Amino acid sequence: MRQDVDVTPVWMMRQAGRYLPEYRKTRSKAGDFMSLCKSPELACEVTLQPLRRYAFDAAILFSDILTIPDAMGQGLFFETGEGPRFKKVIRTQSDVERLPVISAEKDLSYVMSAVSLIRKELNGSVPLIGFSGSPWTLATYMIEGGGSKDFHRAKAFMYNDRNAMHLLLDKLTDAVIDYLNAQIRAGAQAIQIFDTWGGILTTPGYFEFSLNYMKKIASSLIKEYDGAVIPVILFTKNGGQWLEKIADSAADAIGLDWTTEIGAARQRVGGVCALQGNMDPAILRTSPSVIRKEVGKILENFGEGNGHIFNLGHGITPEVDPDNVSAFVDAVHEISAQYHT
């Protein structure tokens, strides 16, 4: 890992999404978001759309982290403007006990079909990143029944009934390992674990309820497939204060949100892990010249050498002007050349 490069590689969380008119067109052809995820041809099409416009150095599978709870029978649906929702919620230990053990290859076969189709279409041009949510992040959605501002139900469940919470996290961990290994066998060449809500926990809570499970996942994934190493990127939003511990987790790279300075992060863990990130997505809503300046600051802050994958600190938002994304990608490639000699 951390191979020498001529320019810093770049991709973008949510690079296939609503800021692209061609994405909106394909989604309306599919009918709704979940039908788009469940059609391998259309999921492949939207995965490739951003690569036709921009010089990204990786593709990311188009899907969602909530496919696992959906396959467990929780009934995922999306209400316009309201984000994800579940028909069933987890509120008691017996709800957890009733959750079925799923087989990713069988119950999420549409994801594996999309992965193999995307690999075929990419034809070696750029690597394909597969992904999953972290067990903790999936658990928050399953307990809340959707998104939340303060996650008080998920936290109450954790504080009131710690054993039931661990049972849920154990079940999700097994499902995530099976799901990610199936993605690797289908053709995913790197894996990102999205721990979007790990950062809402206390420090001991993060280690106990989120990081431990991600560690188990990172060390249970297929390490090499088809002669190539499969790197694992671990992204805990708001996880900046725990970088040393995250670096200790068998992950190959750490995803950073924009609140941590990347140069300081490099000093803390640069010898152990690569870093991914970390431009504030709000900057994409400014102008090409501001974007270029801000990209330059992050590259300068990271400094010379390899071990940096440029990205945003979180997903791109739907209002961004697609031309600003060109400015972003081109700025990373152009400005970073001086740091790789």
* Residue numbers at the binding site for ligand CP3 (CB under 6 A): 13-18, 27, 33, 60, 62, 64-66, 83-84, 131, 133, 147, 194, 196, 315
Q: 18 an active-site residue?
A: yes
23, 27, 85, 119: the active-site residue: 27
**DSSP annotation string for 135-185:** HHHHHHHHHHTB--SS-HHHHHHHHH-HHHHHHHHHHHHHHHHHHHHHHHH
Q: 85 an active-site residue?
A: no
For ligand CP3, give the closer residue by CB, 64 or 330. 64
For ligand CP3, give the closer residue by CB, 218 or 335. 218
DSSP letter at 316 equals: P
For ligand CP3, give the closer residue by CB, 9 or 133. 133
Residue 115's CB is within 10 A of a number of other CB atoms, namely 26
Residue 154's CB is within 10 A of a number of other CB atoms, namely 24
Q: How far is the CB of 194 from ligand CP3 (least distance, A)?
A: 4
Q: How far is the CB of 308 from ligand CP3 (least distance, A)?
A: 19
Among positive and negative, which fits the CA dihedral 125, 233, 314, 109? Answer: positive
141, 179, 206, 213: the active-site residue: 141
Q: 64 an active-site residue?
A: yes
* CB-closest chain residue to ligand CP3: 196
Nearest to 203 by CA among 244, 169, 232: 244
Alpha helices in the chain (DSSP H): 21-30, 33-38, 40-53, 67-69, 93-98, 104-107, 109-122, 135-144, 152-160, 162-186, 203-205, 212-220, 243-247, 262-269, 288-302, 322-336
For ligand CP3, give the closer residue by CB, 81 or 227. 81
Q: How far is the CB of 114 from ligand CP3 (least distance, A)?
A: 11
2, 18, 53, 185: the active-site residue: 18
Q: How far is the CB of 296 from ligand CP3 (least distance, A)?
A: 24
Q: 141 an active-site residue?
A: yes
For ligand CP3, give the closer residue by CB, 17 or 135. 17
Q: How far is the CB of 27 from ligand CP3 (least distance, A)?
A: 5
> At 84, phi and psi to the nearest 5?
-75, 150
Contact between 239 and 273 (Cβ < 8 Å): no
HSE, side-chain direction, 13 A CA sphere, residue 27: 18
Q: 53 an active-site residue?
A: no
Contact between 194 and 235 (Cβ < 8 Å): yes
For ligand CP3, give the closer residue by CB, 76 or 335. 76
Contact between 1 and 252 (Cβ < 8 Å): yes
Token pair in block for residue 131 = 């992904």
Burial track 259-279 (b if 16+ CB lie within 10 A, e otherwise)? ebbbeebbebbbeebbbbbbb
Token pair in block for residue 288 = 């090409």
For ligand CP3, give the closer residue by CB, 36 or 262. 36
Q: How far is the CB of 66 from ligand CP3 (least distance, A)?
A: 5
Q: How far is the CB of 33 from ligand CP3 (least distance, A)?
A: 4
64, 95, 174, 280: the active-site residue: 64
14, 85, 119, 266: the active-site residue: 14
- Catalytic positions: 14, 18, 27, 64, 141
